Structure 1
Amino acid sequence: MALDWGFELLKGLESLFLNPLFYYLFIVAIILGISRVKRERKQFHVRAKDAFFELRQLLPLGFVLGLILSVVTIGVGLVIPIETIIFAALFTFLWSLTTNFRFLSPVYTVGFAFFATLFFLSKKWSLPLIESHTAEWNSSILPSIAALLGLLMIAEGILIFRNGRKGTSPKLIKGKRGLRVGVHEVKRLWMLPLFLIIPGEALKASFEWWPVFSVGSQTYSILLVPFAIGYYQQIQGMLPVKAVQQVGKKVIVFGSVFTCLSAVGYWYPLASIVITALAIIGRELLSLRQRLAEDNLPFYFSQRNQGLMILGVIPDSPAEKMGLGVGEIVSKANGITITDEESFYEAMQKNRAHCKLEVLDINNQVRFVQRALYEGDHYQLGILFVQDEKMWDDESMVFVQPNHKSFS
């Protein structure tokens, strides 16, 4: 029996490479990275991360979570209509066209697919090339879709908490008073491949090799389905890592509560409709509350009297090797007190071969870092600051570099 299941799972793996969404998500991740690099180069004349950073984040953690959730979904016997999978893919494509990646949360893709499936099957419609065994309306299919949505929301929270905090992108915007301030942006896309049990033969007989097995008098297929999970957050009032982790924890708790509530549907199937609707509303309120709380906070990355706030650190640069971090304040350079970016560059010119900085860390503790500078060092020092307003051209919004730009 175990050997048969293993064989069916291996055959189900092939379905992943027949799914157009699998390839589409790779393309979207590449476009996401390229657009981020263009914005960073426009504002800082250097990129914080390379253009393939988002692509590298697309699959690894999602693959691990997908394996874990596959064991759960198959173990508890969740049977998902093929219509739901198709509608979830269609909504993923549609929401991705808005370029607002928070709409790629499972609650907006699988949640809307839940109601589309409900409407579609109630009309007794059928899809071309699909051999559906759910053409007759049956409320017993609803709890499994709701449970799947809950599990995907838990995975979403874990991905935000564990991966969303990595590589947040520095960004310059105009604050409420019209002054230039810094924020951090998280725009991320993950793929979560998940083995699902589908009632009946997923495709018609032209695909003879499709994995099909029987339990009693019922016939089922196993598919490996790629689910997209997107996330967007603009952080202005606190350190990016802390802000993203807070959201991740809230989504995990919300997904866990919803998963528990979805179990009610197995006793009262129609309750799944109300529970899923509440999930969509609740997730939207969670996002709205987070944005309102963020808007009410003062800008963390703004110009400070005691020095220069570090908005970003270039990977593999001398600044990163010296242990400088986002949110720290450079108060002195080569023994000279820093008041603005111009004074920082002038202080760095005092000694082109050596850099000694006095830094106020995120715990308000003073520490000293130093390093020899060599010609050809990657991006020289590698620090991104909140630029002075006078260094911007108001019409083109393109950063005008100072004379001593090589040290930043």
Structure 2
Amino acid sequence: MTFSPRTYLDHNATSPLRPEVAETVLRALQLPGNASSVHAEGRAARAEIEKARDKVARLVGARAKNVVFTSGGTEAANLVLTPGFRRLGQAGAARLLVGAAEHPCVLNGHRFPDGDVDTIPVDDQGVLDLVWLRAQLDKFGDERVLLSIQLANNETGVLQPVAEAARLVHERGSLIHTDAVQAAGRIPVDIAALGIDAMTLSAHKLGGPKGIGALILASDQFEIGDKLVRGGGQEKGFRAGTENVAAIAGFGAAAEGALADLEDEAERLRGLRDEAEAQVRRIAPDALVVASAAERLPNTFAFAIPGLKAETALIAFDLAGVALSSGSACSSGKVKRSHVLDAMGVEPTLAEGVLRVSLGWSTTKEDVIRFAEACERVVGTLYKRKASAA
């Protein structure tokens, strides 16, 4: 039996494993030693972890000693978003500020009491309101806060003014974390240039293994008083448990691959993204491209065609051989109302139809052509049904 080729355009949910990553993981899986053991087998496993730590650090301009491996971006965010995250010798934050369009791992995964959390609004393009943030920080005065904002939104690709927000926060002696899960490996990311204190990453957005991520600190002058996973002294005490050597090695290989051709790949994906977006506008001139006036990731766009429900459209595209998403894939796999679009003020009936196209290292020109062909069929079928029902 032969199968027609499928077009995978859901890299923001997970990017297919890079071939070099698969080879690295397989090799690391065959290492017999525990990385905490002092014998030769243990030292070989430890060497794999430290090589990967250096590669992940280089992806974001950090120092390897400040990279803490976790089970993914969600755990990394849960670990750092706590009143116990602080500079050495200082008290932790009394309040948490989060953007309204943040990923659920931030909105629901932090460890602050609900009454100590404030939500920063975004404009109709999904960009954080810095005027509101400044006013709120002024209101708090000398009270220390922790700010968490994403570098790039997972549903729309919108980039946030992280460096500007970091300056506002640091002027008041407070701390800032950024969720860089979607941005790292797609645009240049430098932890020092951004001026942030902590960053979280996830390997499977880069073509690495699922189930491995990292918390990256700006320096070794930070501590977390209330660890999530306690026991042994692994990861310099930040996260206990025997390290997943194979997944960590794969993370390093993915980071190295993403960094090697970062600028050229961004331009290639931007060209493909713009072509796919143009095809949607040609097929459905009344389509809404979400946040089209904002600066976005080069690989992402979200669109809605009036009258087309996301749940129906996803099935239709899937049957046509094209994998898309309606937003975050981190919940239950169900299509549900987007808090991101609500925060942006997108009209509810349109928001119900928003689809996300996200490209990646394996995307080709042929994929864009197949997407356009599928889109034409889906829209044509929709309007035929509407006409027959009229």
| Superposition TM-score, scaled by structure 2 size | 0.24
Query: Which structure carries more strand by proportion?
Result: 1
| Superposition TM-score, scaled by structure 1 size | 0.24
Q: Which has the higher contact order (CA 8 A, sep 6+)?
A: 2
Query: Which structure carries more helix by proportion?
Result: 1
